[in-house]
Structure 1
């Protein structure tokens, strides 16, 4: 475990090229939770970019251990999440903490969501699902990360709120989680290949493409105009995506993203977590 009194001296050794020094640092920093952001902020230490990156790498084993240790598989697997929003959000927090660098200080995911909901209220976007959609997406506050679609960071909701970027599922989740705080009804649509959100507008169900600035899609029109739509896609359009199914999709996305980056250990972790969530 890293001693806070020793931390300033250890940080000064980050750029030391001596193999024995680097091995000692690796052992010390791996025996942490993987996040020293509070300690570093308290010391008012401004790390050079290279040292920042090196420290994050040294802390990664600790973040891996924390994720595996704290992940709680519901009895019955993903299906048991159902409408358990508290457990669902806690798992999203664990993913967010894991994908963070462990060095930069930032609020916890629930606090960031609370602040986003407060901003929406101040902007009077809490008056309807459609006003919230406009405020979050059509305004350009949140947009699809087209330039780096497969980065694992897209699954870090805290990062998404900080940058205004995300993939289809992360942006839809922000919409859903903020709406829930405002007593609005927004659900998920587990459409194959492109996750969507669902709201009602003038009593009619509408799909929201959060990735493309909140574009509205009429459920009625998409069913009438696509006669060859698959049974799976039709079921997704007509029903609310269960929270457990959403979580499984996130885990699969992360496994795929880390495989593309050839980060085999991280990909394996999310593969194993995915398998553990099976009923």
Structure 2
């Protein structure tokens, strides 16, 4: 197990191309949790970008192992999550920790969500679901990552909170999780091809496209104007997306993203987790 006294010496060897040295580094760093950001900060070690990248790759096996060991499969699979927001958020945290570089220091996912909630309510006596939507999306604080839509980072909610970018499902999740901290009712709509959020506005259900500046979509209008809408799409519009189904969609997105980037080992991990979350017959 790598200790703090060894770390500065090991880091000096990051750019040593000697195969035996690199193999020794791989063995040492793989035997960690995959995240040394707190240790690096405590030692005030400032790595060059190239060394940060090398170290992150060396720490990746540790992050893989940590994800597999800490992932808890509910009895009954994804369907068992139901309204278990605590377990749901913890699974999202594990995914964020895995996708993180393990080198740069950042707050945990719960802390980041708390910060956003505090910022959203600063100086306000009252905030509604719609006001939160305006504050987060119409303002441009959070926006769709159109230039890099398929990057796995879009599924890292901490990264999304830091950069203000995300894909449809990650942005909607930020909205939902922040709203929950403010006792607001924002749910998910598992619309095929483009995840949406759902709120009540003037006592009517309205869909929110978080990816496109939080634009509002009337449930009544989308159903009346799309006569050939699929049964699956109609069900998604009319019902709240179960937390487990949202999680499965994230896992499938990550499998596809890593396959697209030709990272088969990472894709295999998320395929395995996805399959493990399927309800047992």
Q: After TM superposition, is the score higher than 0.5?
A: yes
Residue deviations 1:134-176 (CA, integer Å, cap 9, x gap): 0000000000000000000000000000000000000000000
Contact 1:126 1:182 in 2 (8 A): no
1:116 equivalent to 2:107? Answer: no
What is the 5 A alignment of 1:156-171?
A: 156-171=156-171
**What is residue 185 of structure 1 aligned with on the other side?**
185
Question: CA–CA distance in 2 between the matches of 1:125 and 1:9?
Answer: 53
Residue of structure 2 in register with 1:98 after alignment: 98
Q: Which runs of 5+ in 2 are unaligned?
A: none
On the 8 A contact 1:37/1:104 being kept in 2, the answer is yes
How many angstroms apart in 1 are the aligned matches of 2:105 and 2:49?
15
What CA distance in whole angstroms lies between the structure 2 residues aligned with 1:207 and 1:232? 16
Q: Alignment length, in residue pairs?
A: 279
- Shift of the alpha carbon at 1:18? 0.6
Structure 1 residue 125: Cα displacement = 8.6
Quote the RMSD (CA, aligned, Å): 0.8
Deviation, structure 1 residue 86: 0.1
For the residues of structure 1 that align with 2:155 and 2:15, how far apart are their CA atoms? 31
Report the Cα distance in structure 1 between the residues aligned to 2:125 and 2:103, rounded to whole angstroms. 34
* Length-normalised TM-score, structure 2: 0.98
Question: Which portions of structure 1, spanning 4 or more consecutive aligned residues, are displaced by more than 6 angstroms?
Answer: none
Structure 1 pair 123–199 and aligned structure 2 pair: CA distance change class (3 A):
farther
1:112–1:231 distance in 2 versus 1, CA, 3 Å: same
- Structure 2 distance, partners of 1:126, 1:263, is 46
Q: Distance in 2 between matches of 1:244 and 1:219?
A: 23
Does the C-alpha gap of structure 1 residues 126 and 178 become closer, same or farther in structure 2, counting only changes over 3 Å? farther
Q: How many Å apart are 1:124 and its aligned residue?
A: 2.6
Aligned to 2:17: 17
Tell me how far apart the structure 1 counterparts of residues 31 and 10 of structure 2 sit (CA, whole Å).
14
Question: Could you say if the C-alpha distance between residues 20 and 243 of structure 1 is closer, same or farther in structure 2, counting changes exceeding 3 Å?
Answer: same
Taking the aligned partners of 1:69 and 1:5, their CA distance within structure 2 comes to: 27
> How far, CA to CA, are the matches of 1:260 and 1:37 in structure 2?
28
TM-score under structure 1 normalisation? 0.99
Q: For residue 172 of structure 1, give the secondary structure of its aligned residue in structure 2.
A: helix
